[in-house]
A and B are shown apart, each in its own frame.
Chain A
Amino acid sequence: MPDMAVQDSDTSPAFQKAGQSLTLDAITHRFGSATAVDDVTLDIRAGELVSLLGPSGCGKTTLLRIVAGFINQTMGRVIVGGTPIDDLPPNRRSVGIVFQNYALFPHLTVADNIAYGLAARGTDRAAQRVRVEEMLALVQMQLFADRYPRQLSGGQQQRIALARALAVQPRILLLDEPFAALDKNLRLDMQIEIKRIQKMSGITAVMVTHDQEEALSMSDRIAVLSQGRLEQFGTPSQIYDRPETLFVNTFVGTSNLLPGHLESSDATSCAVRLDDGLRLVLPRPAEKMAAGTAVVVSVRPDNLAFVEDGEGLAGKVELGMPLGTTIVHEIVTASGRALKVSSARSAGAQPFTSGTPVRVAPVSLDAVQIFPAPKQ
C-alpha cells in the first residue's frame, strides 16, 4: 500500500491548513465498572483517513466522543498536532464531527447551518457568506442554500452536515457511521464524495464503521477493535491479507476455518496437520507457538481451488451458485465441515451439481493464515 497522505499540491485553496496528526495515547474509558475502551493507542498521520472498524458495542463511538471532547476519558491522552487537548472543552478543540443522524439544526436554513460555526467564531457576515458559498460549491449544493433540513433527502443532509463541519476548518474530522442511514446506491456515491472531499481538503479524518467493505474501500488505514481493545492497525491490504488475530481474520472478509495442530516450525517455514487429514507446509514461521499447539488455519474462499485426485482435501459439492463473475461452491468434507470455494467464472461455465465428489487445496500457501486455537 502506498502512503496515501495528501500532498500539498492536491489541497484546494478553500483550505489553508492541512490536517494535523492525531495520537490516541493509551486511552481507556469505563462507564461505571464496564470498560468500553481498553488501552487503545493509535498514531494517525496528518491527512490520513482512518476507519475504526468493529462490531456494534466495541467502543467506536465512545472513542470518537472522547476525541471530540464530549466524554472525558478515564485514562490516556488525546494529542492533536503534537499538543495534548484533554483539558480543552469541545468548543475549543477545533474537531469537526458528522453525526450518524447528521444533527442539522432544524430551525436554521442550510446556509445558516453552515454559517453557524463561523458566527460562533465571530467571523464577520460578509466573510461568512463567502465561506458558505465555497462550502456549498464543495458539496455541490449551491441551489439549496435557503432550504430547511427537513426539505432535504438523507444524502443531501449528509452533504450539508459535512459542509457545516468543514466550514470552520477543523484540525480533525470525525464521522460516526456516516453511511449507515443511506440506501445502498446512494451509499456508494457518498463514499466516493466524502473520500474526494477529504482528499481535496487534506483533512485528517477518523471514520467509525461496522461495515468492513466500507472500511476496506475508503481508508488509508484501518483500526480493528473488539470489546474495546485494538486488535490490529494497518492498511486495508495488511488487514485483509495479513490479519494478526483470529478476530480480525474472521471479521474482515469471509474465511474457511480449519482446526489442526502445529507439527513443527523453524525460521522459514512451519507445518500444520489439519484435523481433516491434510498436511500444509507454510513458507513462514509460526510465531509464538510451540509444536503440538492446537491451531486454526484460515483459507479465504478465493484461495481454494479444485485439484486433481490424490491431492488436497476430499469433499462433496453441497451447492453451487454463479455470482456474476465468480462461482461459489459450498463443499462438505468427510468430517462434515462446510467450506466455501470461490472461483472465477468463464463464459458459459456451469457450477458443479450437488453431490459431485471433488478435491480442494489452497492455491497460495503464503496467503494461508494460522492462529492459536481459541480457548474453549
Chain B
Amino acid sequence: MASGRTTTGASERGEGFLALPLMLFYLLFFIAPLLLLFAVSLHADKDMAAWGLAQYAKALSDGFGLGVLFDTLRLGVETTLLCLLLGFPLAWLHRNAGPRWQGVIILVTVLPLLTSVIVRTFAWIVILGRQGIVNTLLLELGLTETPLRLLYTHGGLVIALAQVQLPLMVLPLIDALQKLDPNLESASAALGAGRWRSFFRIVLPLSLPGIIAGSVLTFSAAVTAFITQSLVGGGQQLYMPMYIYQQALTLQNWPFAATISVIFMVAVLFCIALFNLLGRYTRRYSAM
C-alpha cells in the first residue's frame, strides 16, 4: 500500500507538467476574472470609489432580487427533474435495445447538441407560440377555444430547457446503466423481488452516480441558459443571468451586478454540493 502510493505520487509529479498549460489558462481566464469580480462586488457605491459590504447588504435584503434567485433555482430543479423523468426511460430503452437501436437512440440523443442553441430555441418559439404547432393542433381538435399561453411562461421554459439539456442527462445515465450487471436484476428476481422492488432497491441506487452527474450538468446548464431563458421566457420572466446583465450593462451598476453574480454562484454551488451529498452514499461501497 505504502509503496503503491509513492509510485503513484512520483508519476503524478512527472506528468503534472503536462497539465501546466491548462493550469495557466485557468489561472488567467477563470481564477483571475473571478477574483476581479469579487473585488468589484466589495465596493460600496456604484462608482467604485469606496470599499464596503453595502452591495451585499442591499442584495440580501432585496425581496425582488431574492425572488429572482429563487425562481432561477426552482427553474433549475424543475428542468433537472423533467430531464430525469424523460431521460431515464430513454436510457433504459437504450440498455435493453439491440445494437442497431442503441445507435439510433444515441444519435437522436446527441442530435440536439449538433445544432445551435439559438436554432433550437427558435424552434420552441414556433412550437409554443399563439399560432404555434401545439395551439393550432389543440384548436383544430377542439380541445380549446382560445389559444393557450405557452410561450413566455415558466412552464413553457422548463419544457424547452429540458429538451435543450436532455443529452447532458441521458449520456451519463446510459453510461451508468450500461455498467449495471444484468445478473443483479436476475438475482433480485430469483430472490422473490418483483419488478418495482428490483428497480428501486437495485437499479436506482446503482445508477445513482449517473443520476448525480446528469443532474449536476443539467442543473448548472439550466440556471445559466441565458439565451433560452430570455427568448422562451420573454420579458415577463426574469432569471438571474438576465437580471445580472441588466444591472451591469443597462444600469451600469457594476458593483451590484458583481455582488448578485457572487451570490448566484454560491447558491448554485450550494445546490451542486447537495447533489454530491447523495454521491457520498455510493462512495461508501465502491471504495475499497
- Contacting B at CB under 8 A, from A62-82, are 68-70
- Total number of A residues with any Cβ neighbor in B under 8 Å: 30
- For residue A20, give the distance in angstroms from its CB to the closest CB of chain B: 16
Docked complex: A101-120 residues within 8 A CB-CB of B: 101, 103, 105-108, 116-117, 120
For B192-230 the 0/1 string (1 means CB < 8 A from A) is 111001000110011000000000000000000000000
A151 within 8 A of B: yes
- Determine whether the beta carbon of A103 is less than 8 Å from that of B183: yes
**Known contacts A120-B193, A168-B191: A68-B285 contact under CB 8 Å:** no
CA–CA, A97 to B186, complex, Å? 9
CB of B189 to closest CB in A, whole Å: 4
Interface membership of A50, Cβ < 8 A: no
Interface residue ranges of B169-205 to A (CB < 8 Å)? 181, 183-184, 186-194, 197, 201-202, 205
B111 within 8 A of A: no
Query: B285 contacts A90, CB within 8 Å?
Result: no
Complexed CA–CA distance, A167 and B59 (Å) = 61
CB neighbours (8 Å) of A96 from chain B are 190-191
Complex Cα distance A94/B192, Å? 7
If the complex has contacts A97-B186, A99-B183, A103-B181, are A148 and B191 also in contact, measured as CB distance less than 8 A?
Answer: no
* Nearest A residue to B195, CB-CB: A91
Decide if B189 touches A106 in the complex (CB within 8 Å).
no
- Does B184 lie within 8 Å of A91, measured CB to CB? no
With known contacts A116-B193, A121-B192, A106–B285 Cβ distance under 8 A: yes
Contact A91 B190 (CB under 8 A): yes
* B193 touching A97, Cβ below 8 Å: no
Query: Are B187's CB and A107's CB within 8 A?
Result: no
Complex Cα gap A99–B187 (Å): 8
Residues of B within 8 Å of A99, CB to CB, are: 183, 186-187
A106 touches B191 (CB 8 A): no
Interface digits, A79-96 against B, CB 8 Å rule (1 contact, 0 not)? Answer: 000000000011111111
Q: Which residues of A contact B202 (CB under 8 A)?
A: 105
> CA separation between A120 and B193, bound complex, in Å?
5
**A interface, CB within 8 angstroms of B:** 68-70, 89-97, 99, 101, 103, 105-108, 116-117, 120-121, 148, 150-151, 164-165, 168, 170
Q: A103-B186, A106-B206 are in contact. List 7 more A-B contacts (CB 8 A).
A: A70-B186, A91-B191, A91-B194, A101-B183, A107-B282, A121-B192, A150-B285
